[in-house]
Amino acid sequence: EIFTCLWQGCTQQYFDAEQLYSHLTNDHVGRKSTGNLCLTCHWLHCDVTVVKRDHITSHLRVHVPLKPHRCSFCKKAFKRPQDLKKHEKTH
């Protein structure tokens, strides 16, 4: 499967979702320390704006089919660590 970046003006393609997510956070969101921090999502048909870098990187997970947080009991996977934590309380 090929994952295409749909950020405004970008058509980069990757062979896994983790690479796409890394591209988004490094190349499009950037960092305050390097003076290129972007807190508005420019994904196709999305214009979410947030106030912190953590919030935009969390938001980007809605656009990337990446679920790195796996339940150690049933192996169900989640996009966000807080969702995994909530789920694990059900066991």
- In degrees and rounded to multiples of 5, residue 3 shows phi and psi of -110, 120
| pLDDT band, residue 80 (cuts 50/70/90) | confident
For 41-79, write each residue's pLDDT tens digit: 999 999 999 999 999 999 999 999 988 899 999 999 998
Number of helices (H), then strands (E), belonging to the chain: the values are 3, 4
Domains of the chain: 3-66 (3.30.160.60)
Say what the pTM is: 0.79
From first CA to last CA, the distance across the chain in angstroms is: 33
